[in-house]
Amino acid sequence: MFIGLFFGALLAAMLMTIAIIRSAHLHAHLSMDGDLSGPQKFHATPTPRVGGVPIMVSMMLTASGTWYAGLPEFASLLLASLPVFLAGLTEDLTKRVRPLYRLLFAFGSAAMAIWLLGAALPSLGIPGVDDAMTALPWLALLLTVFAVGGVCHAVNIIDGYNGLMGGVAMAIAAALAYVSSTVGDMALLAISLSLLGAILGFLVWNFPRGMIFAGDAGAYLVGFLLAEVSVLLVVRHPGVVSPWFPMLLMIYPVFETVFSIYRRKKRQAAAGLPDSMHFHQMVYKRLVRWMVGKREAKHLLRRNSLTAPYLWGVALFSVMPATLFWQYEWVLQLCCALFILLYVWLYRRIVQFRAPRWLVLRRAEGDVRPKLVTSSR
């Protein structure tokens, strides 16, 4: 059944996505991302940004199959995801939903998941905080809602280049599927495998050519499902799955968000303005743009698609140890600290034009623009 769920979600997402792409002329006035000049825009032609729709449709189809198989949790989780998905889809179609409102809807979806599935974290694996959560149940509810909403927003932040969000989310979903299988949680295994298949079906058309974008609906939906499966693993298997497992698993998008908040406060930048200094944007500007320097459309597309693999590698530095050591809390904590150090070190080196030489690929031949000197000092 589980292999069928994966391939069913994959096929449904692939077919639905190509249908949206081929019919773009019918809904372009609503679905197209035609802004090619914004600080967070790196595509060369107007592109549909409703990739969240095929992901949701494929998940609904597989959820109906699990319902009849006696696993109703999948359908309940999708029901809880509707507020944040619809808020993201409204933004994709109208471009008028403020980030604060989308975040509030994410909180609403997290609250629904607590009501429908009991998805409230019992602890965080932090002395003192855990005692407070036990003594004050409402605190546990608030922290869970905040954490899930934060992950939704964090996944949306890294959705900036072809394949970036999808590749990172697939790695996380695969890790969640592995741990779910190991602890014998068939419901969470079904959700994780279906999500893995749905993202892959979308990614076929998103990477490397960027024929469609996930949009806010896709990013928030994927972030919500990853966060909730993580929470449910901890809730349903107390003392077996540490809260630090999902923390390490998703530390790349989460720390990207925390670091962005720190940078904005340091520069006294307004919270609502677009940010052009995320890690993935620095990789693009300091590494990829130099390697593929021409302004032709095909080179712009190549720049875009070359960016994601760098960040996939960064994410794997957290996903791999989380998958290997999910039972050992102290190892997970140590790996979280090491990842943060690695992230800050790499970010500073790249921003200062001192990227390690092993990060710099060969410059495209025939580019007559002046060469940028990099150093490994």
Report if residue 371 sits inside a domain.
Answer: no
Measured between alpha carbons, how far is 229 from 236 in angstroms, rounded to an integer? Answer: 10
> In a 10 Å sphere around its CB, with 0-12 CB exposed, 13-18 middle and 19+ buried, how is residue 233 labelled?
buried
Report if residue 374 sits inside a domain.
Answer: no
Question: So what's the pLDDT on residue 293?
Answer: 59
Residue of 152, 139, 180 lying closest to 80 (CA atoms):
152
**Domain total for the chain?**
1
DSSP 190-217: HHHHHHHHHHHHHHHHHTTT-SS--HHH
Q: What does the DSSP 8-state code read for residue 120?
A: -
Measured between alpha carbons, how far is 109 from 21 in angstroms, rounded to an integer? Answer: 29
Helix, strand or coil for residue 116? helix
User: The pTM is what?
Assistant: 0.90
Using alpha carbons, list the distances in angstroms from residue 16 to 13, 106, 372: 5, 25, 43
Report if residue 76 sits inside a domain.
Answer: yes
Report if residue 368 sits inside a domain.
Answer: no
Given a contact cutoff of 8 angstroms between Cβ atoms, the answer to whether 235 and 164 are in contact is no
Report if residue 375 sits inside a domain.
Answer: no
Report if residue 364 sits inside a domain.
Answer: no
Compute φ and ψ for 363, nearest 5 degrees. -75, 140
Measured between alpha carbons, how far is 8 from 52 in angstroms, rounded to an integer? Answer: 17
Residue of 153, 156, 158, 160 lying closest to 305 (CA atoms):
160
Given a contact cutoff of 8 angstroms between Cβ atoms, the answer to whether 128 and 136 are in contact is no
Structural domain range at position 181: 2-359
> What is the chain's pLDDT, residue by residue, as a tens digit (377 residues)?
789 999 999 999 999 999 999 998 888 888 886 555 555 445 457 889 999 999 999 999 999 989 988 899 999 999 999 999 999 999 999 988 999 999 999 999 999 999 999 999 999 999 899 999 999 999 999 999 999 999 999 999 999 899 999 999 999 999 999 999 999 999 999 999 999 999 999 999 999 888 999 999 999 999 999 999 999 999 999 999 999 999 999 999 999 999 999 888 887 766 556 677 899 999 988 888 776 656 555 566 777 888 999 999 999 999 999 999 999 999 999 999 999 999 999 999 999 888 888 887 765 444 444 344 333 33
Q: What angle do CA 191, 195, 197 make, to 5 degrees?
A: 120
DSSP 232-292: HHHHHSTTTS-THHHHHHTHHHHHHHHHHHHHHHHHT--TTS--S-SHHHHHIIIIIHHHS
Question: So what's the pLDDT on residue 362?
Answer: 61
**Structure-token pair, residue 151:** 């992950």
Q: Which ranges of 136-184 does DSSP label H, i.e. alpha helix?
A: 137-157, 164-182
Report if residue 377 sits inside a domain.
Answer: no
Report if residue 270 sits inside a domain.
Answer: yes
Residue of 304, 286, 289 lying closest to 348 (CA atoms):
286
